[in-house]
A = this chain, B = another copy of it.
Amino acid sequence: MARLIQFLLSPPSRLVRLAAGEKRIACTVAPAGDNHAHLPVWEEQDGRRLSGIWAILDHLENTYPEPSLLPEDAEERGEALRLLDWAMTVFHEDVTRRIVFEKATPAQTGSTSRRPPNMEIIRAGRTALRTSLPQLGALAEARGCLAGRQLSLADLALGAHLSALDYYGEIPWTELPTLTEWYYRLKSRPSFRSLLADRVPGQPPVPHYAELDF
């Protein structure tokens, strides 16, 4: 069986688990511990080893092509990759790092910071979050999934981030009915189950985190 070395609440790790889940690839998960190297790492049973989401997603898509997580249509494919890139750079920087990486322990995110949570940073993250979410809701409403009608890496990448934020109850769902409907569909997929079972020691999730009826 394949093995994933990961940080529990780190979006790149969550994205790989979702992608593997959609392709029905069984994998065991190993915590990264104090090894704050370039993660996540994907190890195939035959010894092949991939580091970082660029290499891992490319490997999964080439080795396990069904179902594809990238649309065939060039425009929709470009849009899926735009949203994937945006989630892992702009949204990560402006929102997830400021909220999840402040609240969680370094062992859960791979952050190298050892200082206590800074409320000013968390508040700046919340402001950026409230700017971004309605745009995502509008995409989901217009298209069904974020990049088009087909589930793609865009949905999984944003799902990876929003699920980590939702662990701490940071998403104002009641203000966002369209996005809630999209997230509910995503959260109900079998690939999401392992994420909903995650528990950070000493930091239980908000009650609705793992609920499929909210």
Give A contacts to B, CB under 8 Å. 38, 48-55, 58-59, 62, 74-75, 77-79, 81-82, 84-86, 89-90
Q: Number of copies of this chain in the oligomer?
A: 2
CB <8 Å contact, A52 and B38: no
Quick one: which of B48, B77, B84 contacts A78, CB cutoff 8 A?
B48
CB <8 Å contact, A90 and B38: yes
For the complex, what is the distance from the CA of A50 to the CA of B80, rounded to whole Å?
A: 10
Residue of B nearest to A57 (CB): B81
For the complex, what is the distance from the CA of A49 to the CA of B51, rounded to whole Å?
A: 29
Please name all residues of chain B whose beta carbon is closer than 8 Å to the beta carbon of A49 when the two chains form the complex. Answer: 78
Quick one: which of B38, B79, B90 contacts A86, CB cutoff 8 A?
B38
Quick one: which of B48, B51, B86 contacts A85, CB cutoff 8 A?
B51
Residue of B nearest to A42 (CB): B78
Other than the given A50-B78, A54-B84, 7 more pairs (CB < 8 A) read A49-B78, A50-B82, A51-B82, A55-B78, A58-B81, A59-B78, A62-B74
**21 intermolecular pairs with C-beta atoms under 8 Å apart:** A38-B82, A38-B89, A38-B90, A48-B74, A48-B75, A48-B78, A49-B78, A50-B81, A51-B82, A52-B82, A52-B89, A53-B85, A54-B82, A54-B84, A54-B85, A55-B78, A55-B82, A58-B77, A58-B78, A58-B81, A59-B74
